[in-house]
Structure 1
Amino acid sequence: MPPAQRAPINGAEKGMATAMDGALAQETVPFPADERRRLAAVRRYQILDTPPDVAFDRIVALAARVFGTPIATVTIVDGDRIWFKAAQGLPEGVSQIDRVPGLCASAILQDVPYVVRDALTDPRTAGNPLVHGELGIRFYAAAPITTRDGYPLGTVNVLDTRPRDVTDDQLATLEDLASVVMDQLEVRLAAIRTVATERELRTRAETLARTLQRTLLPPALPTVPGLEAAAAYHTASIDQVGGDFYDLFPLDDGRWAFFLGDVCGKGAEAAALTSLTRYTLRAAAIYDPDPCTALTNLDAVLKGEYQGSDPRHCTAIFGILHPEPGGAFGVTLASGGHPPALVVRANGDVEPVPTPGGQLIGLLPDPSFTPAATRLTPGDTLLLYTDGLTEARTATGAMLGEEGVVAHLAATAPRGADGLLAEIDKLLNDLGAGVSDDTALLALSVPTRPTAVPVQENR
């Protein structure tokens, strides 16, 4: 709640300065001994030059009603001015006056109500021209607005054009109203600090989430001889750690394993599940790189770790790259409930790679996984993606879907792994708010002019 820009004192306000404050002073009123600290307290509450507030407006209305006076104000005494947080009975447009020796400056010097019952006979104000002049101000009463650590910020005050007596009950009410103002300032300050703390915590959480997300993904993809590999992670929300993951790593027989998937949930629990899933698939590939076997092992691990009424599941697609003579690569895939991989051919055709029978991992009693195969020749690119892409919505509100992705890639005909991911990144950015979930992308392409690749027999 930042304060508004301070307005200059206008002509009417300068007139009020003379009429309401300076003209009622006969002697120079000293500043508080701890004025520097008092002004620091004023700044601490961040109240100066803020817009009108109905809570303070009600306080001045109540003060005027209790005393039966035509004028009542809530003032904050600044270094060189007196600013009205709320006022009743002042000329329109008056929001502040110069701080000159007078009533408001005097009222903050003591911790009890300051009262001038008849300015004409009171020795503090008897010679003041305003008492004898056109305005004829005769009565003033104020209670200081005091912080818990003893610094007066301003006053709640009432004024009249005729002398008045006040009762102890009225003065007690004025003090209570000043306390209510102080309570309102404390509540407002607490709200400001809460908002600031929430912003700071949000910033820290966003930083932590981004850091945690990076630890769950490979810092960089390895170089695969004869292949271009690229990955991207499109974040839909900076507030939550998503559960999308991918990896690409070598096996010890010249082949390469890769996978991409999405765990259920968001936040820390999803992060823990993502870590478990990623390292389970890596370990499974070391012992048996068959894609169906790797997914079966992951299914068993998830069921072992998350049992009873708190199951956890994920979708994943796991594949093996087999280098072939002439620069091509054979690909074997298996999917567990995951969207099918797409192959963008050198001629621009886009072909899904069906993986029939793929079922959610970690949820069903006896899931089955069926292998699928395809082949990448020079100019072809294999794309794996999570459902943040297919579930994104277009401007009409329709889900993009697999068909929409295929149609978009066929129309744009991106080339190579980097070109393909750049095109999808542009698509997601264009969809804007239609993207409601994170999207992980992994693209593997065979260059048009492949480099020589030593081929080893599979063990």
Structure 2
Amino acid sequence: MNRPGGGPEEPGAGLPGTHAAFTALLEDSAEELYESAPCGYLSTLLDGTIAKINATLLGWLGLSRGEVVGRMRFSDLLTVGGKLYHETHFAPLLRIQGHLNGIALDLRTATGSRLPVLVTSTLKKSHDGEPLLIRTTVFDATERRAYEQELLRARRAAEEARRQAEADRERLCETLAVLQHSLLPETLPDIPGVRTACHYHTASTMQLGGDFYDLFELDDRRTAFFLGDVCGKGPQAAALTSLTRYTLRTALLHDVDPVANLGMLNTVLLDRYTGDDPRYCTAAVGVMERVEDTLEVRLASGGHPPALVIRVDGRVETLDTRGGMLVGALPAAQFVPARTTLRPGDTLLLYTDGLTEARVGPHRELYGDEALVSFAAGLAPTGPHRLVGALKDLLRGFGDGLDDDTALLAIGLPARTDTGPGIAT
């Protein structure tokens, strides 16, 4: 703002009083600002003796100026831990660097309580570079410290919750694994002159699968087997699997006709699951009978992928069971029978559709039946253990393209050798 004559107005122009009075007012205001600032100020000699301190900091500490100035050092205001940190870190770094900013410390008040603060100190030097005194600004960090403590508690609580969740997950996985194994035979029986192998791949450790298989002797000549896949996942699928498995076992013990066994299972499922929550499955059921050095196999399928026979001469045959319907879906469901004879070196493979419905390649295409037949042909002739071992490697190679459980069951006869009967590998 300019005066009418053209020059700038002097400070205080237009205010009552003289220029000296206005200057005195400014000086009083500066002193008042120092004393009643919203933060603490103090100046100390190089040995830490307090030479000047403002009223704000004295109020926080509950001390008088006479108790502090010339009688106490800055370190005397600190807690025991703060004193140690001041002597070993704060003071040496300040002498080296000349400035420290935002250091968290605790002051000790007259009542013995702790006052969390943030301290910024600057070493004032003469024109010759000689240190003269230390100026320190102190900010009340009570709310900030409370916030940090709250964050720390929240972090600890989150970490504990995470650890608890991981422990719960591990226990759940163990429980699910035990339950899953309870739905499958622990081991396959040792049948003289017959080789068998099985495998169950679980797509998710957090869900109970619905695939199942079993193999058990009916008498000294005949052995029953089955393999299938129930709809759904989780506890309901596990309950359906249990019902299906034990129904088939019971039916096979009373009747060796695979088609009749599937009809019995169909009736049981329709009776148990009615209304708005139907439950069904696919299944292949068979009975094999030892006749001299061969196995006569009778098989029936209800909506299940066709079984494969890998012959000792390298051929791969598909047992045609097309037309077999889902088990438990319709009262008048039809189930398709098939027969085959296994000779020494031949292997029968049953599998669930998790294998053929795996996604492969950059375009995530279905692995498919043809690829499986080609894979099996590349192994022929092969025995159950070698076949299942190769399929296990294949399943692992699918990676995240395999998103469904897969059950495998292979049955075969040892191949003949020039020196006599041998065991297929």
TM exceeding 0.5:
yes
User: Are the aligned partners of 1:335 and 1:370 in contact in 2 as well (CA < 8 Å)?
Assistant: yes
How far has the Cα of 1:251 moved from its partner?
Answer: 1.0
How far has the Cα of 1:191 moved from its partner?
Answer: 2.0
Cα 1:350/1:194, change in 2 over 3 Å = same
Cα 1:355/1:134, change in 2 over 3 Å = farther
SS of corresponding position for 2:76: coil
Corresponding position: 1:140 with 2:138? yes
Question: What residue identity is the alignment partner of 1:142?
Answer: D
Structure with the higher strand share, 1 or 2: 2
Quick one: distance in 1 between partners of 2:366 and 2:193?
Answer: 36
1:51-110: CA deviation from partner (whole Å, max 9, x where unpaired): xxxxxxxxxxxxxxxxxxxxxxxxxx9xx989xxxxxxxx9xx9998xxxxx71436996
Question: What residue identity is the alignment partner of 1:381?
Answer: T
Corresponding position: 1:355 with 2:321? yes
User: Are the aligned partners of 1:414 and 1:420 in contact in 2 as well (CA < 8 Å)?
Assistant: no
Question: What residue identity is the alignment partner of 1:229?
Answer: T
Corresponding position: 1:255 with 2:222? yes
TM alignment of 1:429-440, pairs within 5 A: 429-440=396-407
Q: 1:104 maps to what in 2?
A: 105
Stretches of structure 1 lacking an aligned partner (at least 5 in a row)? 1-18, 36-76, 83-90, 98-102, 120-127, 145-174, 453-459
Give 1:264's match in structure 2, choosing from 226, 231, 234: 231
Q: 1:344 maps to what in 2?
A: 310
Question: What residue identity is the alignment partner of 1:206?
Answer: C
Cα 1:178/1:249, change in 2 over 3 Å = same
Quick one: distance in 2 between partners of 1:407 and 1:96?
Answer: 72
Corresponding position: 1:298 with 2:299? no
TM alignment of 1:148-187, pairs within 5 A: 175=143, 177-187=144-154
Give aligned-pair identity as a percent: 44
Question: What residue identity is the alignment partner of 1:25?
Answer: F
TM alignment of 1:46-85, pairs within 5 A: none
SS of corresponding position for 1:137: strand
How far has the Cα of 1:136 moved from its partner?
Answer: 4.6
Stretches of structure 2 lacking an aligned partner (at least 5 in a row)? 1-43, 49-72, 91-96, 126-130
Give 2:162's match in structure 1, choosing from 195, 204, 218: 195
TM alignment of 1:12-411, pairs within 5 A: 25-27=74-76, 29-31=78-80, 104-106=105-107, 113=115, 130=123, 136-144=134-142, 175=143, 177-252=144-219, 254-325=221-292, 327-396=293-362, 397-411=364-378
User: Are the aligned partners of 2:306 and 2:318 in contact in 1 as well (CA < 8 Å)?
Assistant: yes
User: Are the aligned partners of 2:324 and 2:336 in contact in 1 as well (CA < 8 Å)?
Assistant: yes
Quick one: distance in 2 between partners of 1:189 and 1:26?
Answer: 33
Q: 2:384 maps to what in 1?
A: 417
SS of corresponding position for 1:351: strand
How far has the Cα of 1:272 moved from its partner?
Answer: 1.3
Q: Indicate the larger mover: 248-257 or 280-289.
A: 248-257
**CA RMSD, Structure 1 to Structure 2 (Å):** 3.3
Quick one: distance in 1 between partners of 2:102 and 2:377?
Answer: 68
How far has the Cα of 1:224 moved from its partner?
Answer: 1.4
Quick one: distance in 2 between partners of 1:367 and 1:188?
Answer: 59
Quick one: distance in 1 between partners of 2:171 and 2:386?
Answer: 34
Question: What residue identity is the alignment partner of 1:310?
Answer: D
SS of corresponding position for 1:190: helix
How far has the Cα of 1:27 moved from its partner?
Answer: 3.2
User: Are the aligned partners of 1:395 and 1:431 in contact in 2 as well (CA < 8 Å)?
Assistant: no
Quick one: distance in 1 between partners of 2:247 and 2:240?
Answer: 10
| TM-score normalised by structure 1 residue count | 0.65
Quick one: distance in 2 between partners of 1:335 and 1:373?
Answer: 11
Question: What residue identity is the alignment partner of 1:293?
Answer: A
Cα 1:115/1:358, change in 2 over 3 Å = closer
